[in-house]
Structure 1
Amino acid sequence: MRYLPLTQPDRDAMLEVIGAASIDDLFVDVPEAARLSGAIHGLPNHASELAVERHMTALARQNTVAGEVPFFLGAGAYRHHVPASVDHLIQRGEFLTAYTPYQPEIAQGTLQMLFEFQTQVARLLGTDVANASMYDGSTACWEAIGMARRITRKSKAILSGGLHPHYVSVAKTMAKYTGDTLETATPQLTADTDIDTLIASIDAETSCVVVQYPDILGRIADLTPLADACHAHKALLIAVVTEPVALGAIRSPGEMDADIVVGEGQSIGVGLQFGGPYVGLMGCKEKYIRQMPGRFCGETVDANGKRGFVLTLSTREQHIRREKATSNICTNSGLCALAFSIHMTLLGEAGLRRLAGINHAGACRAADRLAQVPGVELVTQSFFNEFTLKLPTEARPVVRTLADRGILAGVSLGRLYPDEAGLANGLIVAVTETTTAEDVETLAAALEEVLA
């Protein structure tokens, strides 16, 4: 059965209209070597449902399940406990199947949920306003850079060496088509952040400075001096938060006068899920709200004076002319935003602070224990739940060896920065409330053995 119910005459008619001789003409930009010719090798033409289930189950068993082994992976995606009530509630039909409300005021439940989400995100990030979510953290980061260009009418963005390299990669991809100039760097395997270097780099042509908080090595810095330097040059400070649970323990970027704050909301309510779908967070100062991509839900009263919700702003490409839109990738990750909001509601402010405290305390204990392993040096001195170790040898082979033993030891910097020899010995270790003391001892003992 074909998924697209088109007949050959239908296809011929469409090809004629667009002036293509065949469907192959539509793929001329794809290199010949990358195109599939014939059937996929090794797959049967058909199989029974039972056979397919067994085959897929066998493939799935080759994965290492995060919850079944000592797990120390982080670097932008974190394993936290998600209460069963979150999944139960997002599975409700009125939430699970809800899409963009094109007649928004009819979808009062969806609008109220997004309004609550915006309120939670704004308070978490310390900003005046927040939108109804973005696609994910990395694209939200790029959207902030584009937003800064529109506000300042300048196009040079300075990206901190501590910004996640995947976020940098997304920004570079998009900047090819906008004319933005990106000044980038790589992190140094030291306890010090590059705040002073960033301050010295700002000039009259700078639209924004982008800094991660905590950064890719887990380091935490006071952003206030950087914000002051940006504003002195009429530039904006963009702060990126990949671990929002941290904001239950440390000052929010908005409190330090960041102009735009973006982040990845996966840590709260959304599981790891093989890398997605995730949910982007975005907030800013109120005076910049009309340059902010995405949608904003607002609260009002109806003709009878009853509380109601409306779609106050919507600057998406599907609502206004494309060239007037602030973005055409500002997807509202509605279901993930709902999961975030439910989990945040269950926690409340006190619960989030307790959760953050548990994370930090566990990370401190783990850092102290792992630093006792001969040859291992703790690089990060100020951190939340993630820190960087310097091993006496290249970290990537060590990570692979430990993975073969059923221990997911962390993320090697050599994987994130394959061309930077000075970072090859670095290992990023994340500890959350799901990490037990036994997990830490297992990792420490295994490291001692492998590094001996």
Structure 2
Amino acid sequence: MRYLPLSDADRSAMLEKVGASSIDELFRDVPEGLLLDGPIKGLSLHASEMAVERDMSAMARKNMVAGDVPFFLGCGAYKHHVPATVDHIIQRGEFLTAYTPYQPEIAQGTLQVLFEFQTQVARLLGCEVANASMYDGSTAMWEAIGMARRITRRTLAIIHEGVHPHYVSVARTMAKFTGDSIADRSPQLSGDMQIDKLLAEIEANQPSCVVVQYPDILGRITDLQPIADACHANGALLVAVVTEPVALGLIKSPGEMGADIVVGEGQSIGVGLQFGGPYVGLFATREKYVRQMPGRLAGETVDAEGKRGFVLTLSTREQHIRREKATSNICTNSGLCALAWSIHMTLLGEKGLTALAQLNHARACEAAKRLSAIPGVRLVNDSFFNEFTLELPVEARPAVHAMVKKGVLGGVSLGRLYPAEPQLANGLVVAVTEVASDEDIGALEAALKEVCK
């Protein structure tokens, strides 16, 4: 909210109502070391609205905006071109202000949007059924682990080394409160994804599920079928995580290769980067597991007059049923982002998505060829879509900072993602999408040459 018209008396009354003596007390659970020790530097305590806007705008101009410089960041959040049509439609009042379709008789438009979204997600991920979206990819992955526990009645989840470390962190946090055990390890700077080792772990440990990212955090791609076969032979489920859904325009979907639950982040289709959010979680599964699927399911029906209509077919969350019967308590839907995703996907169509994926892959191949030719730089990947990992002759994190000074956002250092793993310090993950021009790739090549000297 841009303007909060509260008086001191209003604030005092609100604090008294919630039983707090001061506003500071509302933040008592935040560790003291993370709190500011005074006012924000550069801002006066009292100023006119115009002065505040001027000061904040000056601060904002210090940001390096993605559209203004060569941009090669990825690792779960990707810069793609979003057609203006997407923004035009989601700004319509009936979409922008609608929240949740509790009354189907007055929410047919919202329910139909969710139904179409589910259909597109299910087809893209290769499953029979998808829910009406989740918060983001990381929490969707955690929900899949919880779902696997309910189905298999086992508590060990094996997470492959290629899963995004932030996703793993979310799973570890949530597992503290559910009794689940998380087994994971960090990747190596190698094209070998250690699949044979993973297969042995499945047989030895009898887990509830195995979680594999596709393509993984280093951009590597593997055949999921042998992993699915090993999971099913040992009574476990295969959970596939997709952080770049554009890749599925070219590579086989996880569902086609036997994945039981496919989750992911939908941001790269229809949703801009927005300085870190909001995102939209994708969640799809097999029809036989639908009763254990978290979230909500919009379904198609007919009304009393025989006309096509839409309803909430399944709502197994605690807002709708008793808490002990709920499949999740963090499963509201990201409705507006799901709509943006669905609009963009509709504009692309199957042929358009394939063409977009081909363009991404071609641009990435060109960049990988040029960058790996720099003396001392090694391409780690044996395979990739639009994202690959380089091993630099220098530490990657300061190299990234040096490239920023040259006006290039040159990738994500593995040292940032894995600060406790020195063997990954020279790893640089580079994402190349359709927005990268020849000039952008040339600027990255020149900047990387300079910092690798």
State the TM-score, normalized to the length of structure 1.
0.95
Determine the C-alpha separation between the residues in 2 that align with 1:157 and 1:91: 41
Determine the C-alpha separation between the residues in 2 that align with 1:22 and 1:96: 35
Q: 185-194 or 340-349: which moved more?
A: 185-194
Q: Match for 1:411: what amino acid?
A: V
Per the alignment, residue 332 of structure 2 pairs with 331
Per the alignment, residue 173 of structure 1 pairs with 173
| Aligned partners of 2:15 and 2:22 also within 8 Å | no
Determine the C-alpha separation between the residues in 1 that align with 2:342 and 2:123: 12
Per the alignment, residue 76 of structure 1 pairs with 76
Determine the C-alpha separation between the residues in 1 that align with 2:86 and 2:8: 35
Correspondence 1:20-31 to 2 at 5 A = 29-31=29-31
1:385 aligns with 2:389: no
Determine the C-alpha separation between the residues in 2 that align with 1:183 and 1:274: 32
Per the alignment, residue 110 of structure 1 pairs with 110
What is the Cα deviation at residue 39 of structure 1? 5.3
Provide Cα deviations, 1:60-106, integer angstroms capped at 9, x if missing partner: 11000101111110000000000000000000000000101221342
| Aligned partners of 2:246 and 2:357 also within 8 Å | yes
Q: Match for 2:114: what amino acid?
A: L
Q: Percent identity?
A: 72
| Aligned partners of 2:142 and 2:170 also within 8 Å | yes
Per the alignment, residue 375 of structure 2 pairs with 374
Q: Match for 2:91: what amino acid?
A: Q
Determine the C-alpha separation between the residues in 1 that align with 2:7 and 2:297: 36
| Aligned partners of 2:145 and 2:209 also within 8 Å | yes
1:298 aligns with 2:302: no
Q: Match for 2:98: what amino acid?
A: A
1:56 aligns with 2:60: no
Structure 2 spans left out of the alignment, 5+ residues:
none
Determine the C-alpha separation between the residues in 2 that align with 1:165 and 1:154: 23
1:409 counterpart SS class: coil
State the TM-score, normalized to the length of structure 2.
0.95
Determine the C-alpha separation between the residues in 2 that align with 1:280 and 1:419: 28
Q: Specify whether residues 436 and 321 from structure 1 end up closer, same or farther in structure 2 by C-alpha distance, changes over 3 A only.
A: same
Provide Cα deviations, 1:118-177, integer angstroms capped at 9, x if missing partner: 000000000010000000000000000000000000000000110000000000000000
| Aligned partners of 1:223 and 1:256 also within 8 Å | yes
Q: Specify whether residues 412 and 31 from structure 1 end up closer, same or farther in structure 2 by C-alpha distance, changes over 3 A only.
A: closer
Q: Match for 2:181: what amino acid?
A: T
| Aligned partners of 1:204 and 1:234 also within 8 Å | no
**Equivalent residue in structure 2 for 1:2, among 6, 13, 20:** 6
Provide Cα deviations, 1:311-361, integer angstroms capped at 9, x if missing partner: 100112211122221111112000000000000000000000000000011
What is the count of residue pairs matched by the alignment?
448
Determine the C-alpha separation between the residues in 2 that align with 1:41 and 1:67: 28
| Aligned partners of 2:15 and 2:21 also within 8 Å | no
Structure 1 spans left out of the alignment, 5+ residues:
none
Q: Specify whether residues 180 and 439 from structure 1 end up closer, same or farther in structure 2 by C-alpha distance, changes over 3 A only.
A: same
Q: Match for 1:316: what amino acid?
A: R
Per the alignment, residue 317 of structure 1 pairs with 318
| Aligned partners of 1:298 and 1:311 also within 8 Å | yes
Q: Match for 1:117: what amino acid?
A: F
1:278 aligns with 2:250: no
Per the alignment, residue 98 of structure 1 pairs with 98
| Aligned partners of 2:43 and 2:55 also within 8 Å | no
| Aligned partners of 2:219 and 2:385 also within 8 Å | yes
| Aligned partners of 1:133 and 1:334 also within 8 Å | yes
What is the Cα deviation at residue 194 of structure 1? 2.4
